[in-house]
Amino acid sequence: MATKTHRVLPGFGLALGYTLVYLSILILLPLGGMVLKASELGFGQIMDIALGERSLAAFRVTFGASLLAAAVNAFFGLIVAWILVRYSFPGKRFVDALVDLPFALPTAVAGITLATLYAGNGWLGQYIEPLGFKIAYTPSGIVVALIFITLPFVVRTLQPVIEDIEMEVEEAAATLGASRWQTFSRVIFPSIFPALLTGFALAFSRALGEYGSVIFIAGNLPLISEITPLLIISKLEQYDVLGATALAVVMLVLSFILLLTVNMLQWWTANRYKNNEPLELAAAKAAGGVS
Amino acid sequence: MPQFRKSISGLLMALVASAALADATLLNASYDVARDVYKDFNPMFQKYWKQKTGEAIELKQSHGGSTKQVRAVADGLEADVVTMNQSNDIEFLADKGLVAKDWAKKFPNNASPYTSTMVFIVRKGNPKAIKDWNDLAASGMQVIIPHPKNTGNGRNTYLSAWAWALKQPGGNDKAAQEFVGKLLKNAPLFAAGGRDATTTFMQRKMGDVLITFESEAEMIAKEFGKGEFEVVIPSLTMQTEFPVALVEKVVDKKGTRKQAQAYLEYLWSKEGQENAAQNYLRPRDAELLKKYAHFFPPVKTFTVDEVFGGANKAFAAHFKDGGSFDQIYLSK
């Protein structure tokens, strides 16, 4: 495959040029401008802003809540996606459409609704709070809002991949003597794992930047439930555009590192499972046929 | 959601209005809850201006968070006039050279056509017997306020409590900071904005007291019913101003100085003042203040200029990073 290949579609140069220009205008230009603006401050000053007590607390809350929300969605989103693809039940199309609602709803509406629902006198809050769990106006509230906002990412990423798994593979594993758990853990899971990682990464990065829904349920107490985007707004409120960009750049760099890690992990697992080990072989392995 | 309906009808009105032929167009960049005030005021001015000069004038409104609005104007939103709820926002435009340096002297009353004050909203029957600021700092009290660092409403509350503490026997900055710290500890959350705080207090039934603009109390009565709460006026509170200014650069470029000037001056006319009063904002006109005395009980107020030496100074001392608000939280 190393030799020059003839491409089926012409116009590679044009398409690549278009892609680069498009991405530059849409992504690189605004982000570059941001970095340029932040560079008016020295590296030391940026670090001072990022390592302040309040900023550090906000980073902890933001990254912690986002990771937790993405993890919860990776688990439950997988179940939802699996059920939506593999089973048919009355109202399936309706449920399928429900999954996209968090995309369409203005985030502030989501935040206000969730706060009302989980507040001490809300439909859910009135039963949860007597048990000793406070959700609205605590960091848990942030996680709840982020889970709501990011659910579609995991489900929509997984659905087509699960659809692509042929029933025959499962049947083959079964005929070769694999138990149900073996079939899932050694045949199905490896083939959807890269997509699960992508969904997780998308959900995570979306959660990091979320502002509109979170501020209505977080409580916004300094050092406890302030998220980084709120600190950025706080800086803008002080007309401190430079400070705001500094925080934004730090957040961008941290997210980029995390996303890169996830991408590499995904690339690594995809290579390991997809290229080296066709599903049929995995099925046989799972059943103990090939060691 | 009557607010939502209002904004839809506002949008429709704006569309209809822009379809009509106009000799001049003015854009008024304003703060969020000013919608009600200018919705009634604009048609009044159009009528007045038509009678006076025969000119049909088109009026457009842009509403948003006060600080966001002035930033938009600084970034090129071509507003002829700005009508805000914090003077440091207009100061910002003055610093950028868009508004005259002495904008506060260009119109009477510190360029603020009407005022409001910060009051307490308590539950029906005032079960916790809340009378003054010191009650809010008592242990076991829950206080609902918007974020003091990020919202104008929250900042006014913070400064009111500070000013009250300063005026107590032996009051100084240190004692005031301690007092405000105690008060803030009683806040189970900082709401995202004024209306969010109201929802938290009235609908989610959190807290013993909500601190907000006097003008908001009437909005709450409309929304949740008059019998649901009581208004308590503390012994000293802030007179909040709503400053207005001409955006010099824009009016010169568009040639709308004459109209814009008249538009703002009309806020001080009998009609303009009465409209403010009907929206529960205290008019500057003494006669009208008397006429609407049932809305506006007497209250002892201070201005930010008197106690803090100006809005900019107050902001720098208390709400900039490292200011007194940060000190309260970060010293722990």
- Count: domains in chain B: 2
Task: Indicate whether B79 and B108 sit together in one domain.
Answer: yes
- ipTM of this predicted structure: 0.80
Q: In whole numbers, what is the pLDDT of chain A averaged over residues?
A: 88
Cβ of A221 and B190 within 8 Å? yes
Structural domain boundaries enclosing B232:
116-239+300-330
- Interchain CB contact of A137 with B (< 8 Å): yes
Residue A140 within any structural domain of the chain: yes
- Count: domains in chain A: 1
User: How are beta strands B209-213 and B301-302 bridged, if at all?
Assistant: unpaired
Residue B284 within any structural domain of the chain: no
Question: Integer distance in angstroms from the first to the last C-alpha of chain B?
Answer: 41
- Spatial CA neighbour of B32 closest among B58, B62, B64, B55: B64
Residue B278 within any structural domain of the chain: no
The CATH number covering residue B43 comes to 3.40.190.10
What's the rounded Cα separation, in Å, for the pair B136 and B120? 10
B178-224 per-position pLDDT tens digit: 999 999 999 999 999 888 999 999 999 999 999 999 998 888 988 88
DSSP lists the bridge partners of residue B60 as: B27
Residue B26 within any structural domain of the chain: yes
Task: Indicate whether B167 and B232 sit together in one domain.
Answer: yes
What long-range pairs does B4-13 form, CB within 8 A, spacing at least 24?
A: B6/B35, B6/B36, B6/B39, B7/B35, B10/B35, B10/B39, B10/B61, B13/B39
B275-323 per-position pLDDT tens digit: 999 999 999 999 999 999 998 999 999 999 999 999 889 999 999 988 9
Task: State the nearest Cα–Cα gap between B319 and chain A, in angstroms.
Answer: 8
Residue A291 within any structural domain of the chain: no
Task: Indicate whether B161 and B234 sit together in one domain.
Answer: yes
Task: State the nearest Cα–Cα gap between A62 and chain B, in angstroms.
Answer: 17
Task: Indicate whether B51 and B149 sit together in one domain.
Answer: no
Task: State the nearest Cα–Cα gap between B261 and chain A, in angstroms.
Answer: 28
- For A110, residues 6+ apart whose C-beta sits below 8 A from its C-beta are A102, A145, A148, A149, A212, A213
B244-274 per-position pLDDT tens digit: 999 999 999 999 999 999 999 999 999 999 9
Cβ of B189 and A239 within 8 Å? no
Task: Indicate whether B212 and B320 sit together in one domain.
Answer: yes
Task: Indicate whether B51 and B151 sit together in one domain.
Answer: no
What's the rounded Cα separation, in Å, for the pair A28 and A36? 12
Question: What stretches of chain B adopt beta strand conformation (E)?
Answer: 24-31, 57-64, 81-83, 114-123, 143-146, 190-191, 209-213, 229-232, 237-241, 244-246, 282-283, 301-302
Q: Provide the pLDDT confidence category of residue B227 given band limits of 50, 70 and 90.
A: confident
Residue A7 within any structural domain of the chain: no
B129-170 per-position pLDDT tens digit: 999 999 999 999 999 999 999 888 899 999 999 999 999 999
Closest residue, chain A, to B206 (C-alpha): A120
- CB distance B265 to B257 below 8 Å: no
CA distances, B260 to each of B33, B108, B110, B294 (Å): 21, 16, 18, 33
Residue B291 within any structural domain of the chain: no
Task: Indicate whether B122 and B102 sit together in one domain.
Answer: no
Within the 48-107 window of chain A, which residues sit less than 8 Å (CB to CB) from chain B? 52-54
Task: Indicate whether B25 and B140 sit together in one domain.
Answer: no
What's the rounded Cα separation, in Å, for the pair A54 and B331? 11
Tokens of B307: 């106690």
Cβ of B200 and A115 within 8 Å? yes
Structural domain boundaries enclosing A52:
42-286
B111-121 per-position pLDDT tens digit: 999 999 999 99
Residue B290 within any structural domain of the chain: no
User: How are beta strands B244-246 and B81-83 bridged, if at all?
Assistant: antiparallel
The CATH number covering residue A67 comes to 1.10.3720.10
Residue B174: phi, psi to the nearest 5?
A: -65, -45
What's the rounded Cα separation, in Å, for the pair A127 and B269? 55
Task: Indicate whether B109 and B137 sit together in one domain.
Answer: no
Cβ of A215 and B192 within 8 Å? yes
- CB distance B223 to B2 below 8 Å: yes
DSSP lists the bridge partners of residue A44 as: none
- CB distance A189 to A55 below 8 Å: no
Task: Indicate whether B105 and B124 sit together in one domain.
Answer: no
Cβ of B330 and A223 within 8 Å? yes
Task: Indicate whether B137 and B179 sit together in one domain.
Answer: yes
Task: State the nearest Cα–Cα gap between B323 and chain A, in angstroms.
Answer: 11
- Interchain CB contact of A245 with B (< 8 Å): no
Task: Indicate whether B186 and B321 sit together in one domain.
Answer: yes
What's the rounded Cα separation, in Å, for the pair B303 and B240? 7
Question: Integer distance in angstroms from the first to the last C-alpha of chain A?
Answer: 29
What's the rounded Cα separation, in Å, for the pair B303 and B310? 9
Residue A152 within any structural domain of the chain: yes
State the Cα torsion B227-B230-B231-B233 to the nearest 10°: 150
A88-133 per-position pLDDT tens digit: 999 999 999 999 999 889 999 999 999 999 998 899 999 998 898 8
Cβ of B188 and A137 within 8 Å? yes
Tokens of A119: 């507040």
What's the rounded Cα separation, in Å, for the pair B131 and B137? 12
